[in-house]
Amino acid sequence: MLLSNTEDDTESKEQDVDLTSLPLNEALQRRREECERKARRGEMDPRLEFTFQLLIDHTGLPRNSVMDYVFESNMLDQINELFLPHGRSKLMWFYQDVEVEDTESFEMAVQLKPTNSSRNLQRRLSIMSKPKKKKLFLTDGWEVGLTGICIYIIRLNTTKQLPEEGFHKDLICGTLDAEKKGLVKSIAKIIEYVFIPALAIPQTGDEPSEDQPDCPLIKSQLLPELRSFCSCLK
């Protein structure tokens, strides 16, 4: 009992520390430790746990590696903005090869004498080409092209706070695999196996209105156009 009380006192003191007064690296480490403690106790925000698990499932990375990316890149605040009213409407991660700075290779290439020799030129180019490694990062999709896996979460309604219970109903989640399946085929599969079946399911109960999925306009025009679009992508 004494040990547990001591641990609780230590944790409460750590939580009382103003993280904004700490250096960035130390503040991020404190936030990560607090997050991991909550996960062990089963007190993790279910929305945050859902996000972590989504990244783990679709990247194949172990949990500690995903946590490294989240906290080293300071993603936590951006993820939390998705849960707030009038906050973010979407989050998008890329998990793909990115160039890594390699000063040693660059220095070796500079030391080679520039000549007209094709062999020497090829050697310089091969040395100067930056090595690559896979990285998980948040993006808006404009600055970097997708060459690997895209994982996305979209909020349907941002006017209210995302509830901790039943939040799945307000989210659309998915992936695009440009590495193995190709971007075009991935988009075609999502439309064919997700959106078309969802729009084609008839509503039960009340009479359909214009804003419901079984609106005649959707069945007569939108669904055929989507099917035709998917056929063109194949």
Tokens of 114: 């520039």
Shared domain for 136 and 218, answered yes or no, is no
Residues 175 and 197 in one domain: no
Residues 32 and 48 in one domain: yes
What residues make up the domain containing 174?
22-100+131-180
Query: What's the alpha-carbon Rg for the chain, to the nearest Å?
Result: 24
Same domain, 148 and 223: no
The reply to whether 196 and 93 lie within a common domain is no
The verdict on 89 and 192 lying in the same domain is no
Residues 143, 78, single domain; the answer is yes
**Residues 65 and 93 grouped into a single domain:** yes
pLDDT of residue 11: 47
The verdict on residue 108 lying in a domain is no
Q: Which pLDDT does position 124 carry in this prediction? A: 52
204 with 156, same domain: the answer is: no
Mean pLDDT (the chain, rounded): 76
Average pLDDT over every residue of 42-68 = 90
Q: Which is it for strands 132-138 and 149-155: parallel, antiparallel or unpaired?
A: unpaired
Residue 107 lies in a domain: no
Band (19; pLDDT cuts 50, 70, 90): low
Amino acid symbol at 58 = H
Q: How many domains does the chain have?
A: 2
Q: Which has the closest alpha carbon to 39: 70, 17, 60?
A: 70
Please tell me the distance from the alpha carbon of residue 72 to that of residue 67, in angstroms, as a whole number: 8
Domain identity same for 226 and 143: no
Same domain for 72 and 175, yes or no, is yes
Same domain, 144 and 215: no
Per-residue pLDDT, 7: 43
* C-alpha to C-alpha distances, 155 to 159, 166, 184, 187, nearest whole angstrom: 10, 13, 23, 19
User: What pLDDT, on the 0 to 100 scale, is given for residue 40?
Assistant: 66
Quick one: pLDDT band at residue 96, thresholds 50, 70, 90? very high
Query: Is 155 a member of any domain?
Result: yes
pLDDT score recorded for residue 65:
92
- Average pLDDT, stretch 119-131? 57
pLDDT tops 90 at residue 223: no
Residues in the chain: 234
Given a contact cutoff of 8 angstroms between Cβ atoms, the answer to whether 186 and 194 are in contact is: no
Give domain status of residue 3, yes or no: no
